[in-house]
Amino acid sequence: MERLPSTTRDKGEEGIRDVLLVALGAAFGGRCTAESLNGAGKTDLLLRIEDRNVLVGECKIWGGSAQFALDIEQLFGYLTPGDRYAALPLFIDRARPGADRSQGRPTPGRASPLCLRRHT
């Protein structure tokens, strides 16, 4: 997306998610699905290999630090004890005129007491 921004230009959260879905599907033999029931709702991305959820993902367009904390709580609601990894891909729109980027920056690992560790 960064090297070919035309693939996501003028797309919303679902459109950008679909770009990720295609890439993950190609890399993992079509095992990644979108809007899949898991935990307390439907997660944007779910990668299952055999009988395990390897990745649970919830895609978001950056809406500021306060919204980020809510997004993390939403992601945690979709997790179950057997899930291996969780991801919260943030899409930050730098090209959109008037986009408000002054609302702070994400603070991974500190946004929720439920986050035990983070991988960078």
Higher per-residue confidence, 85 vs 106? 85
- Over 70: is that where the pLDDT of 86 sits? yes
Instruction: Name the 3-class secondary structure at 61.
Output: strand
Token digits of residue 114: 């439920």
Instruction: Name the 3-class secondary structure at 30.
Output: coil
- Over 50: is that where the pLDDT of 116 sits? yes
Roughly how many angstroms between the first and final C-alpha of the chain, as a whole number? 19
- Over 80: is that where the pLDDT of 19 sits? yes
- Over 80: is that where the pLDDT of 114 sits? no
Task: Give the sign of the dihedral formed by CA 2, CA 4, CA 9, CA 13.
Answer: negative
Higher per-residue confidence, 9 vs 26? 26
Is residue 39 within 8 A of residue 49, CB to CB? The reply is no
- Tell me the average pLDDT across 30-39: 95
Is residue 75 within 8 A of residue 91, CB to CB? The reply is no
Residue 100: predicted pLDDT:
52
If pLDDT is split at 50, 70 and 90, which confidence band does 43 have?
very high
Residue 97: predicted pLDDT:
46
pLDDT in tens, 47-80: 999 999 999 999 999 888 889 889 999 999 999 9
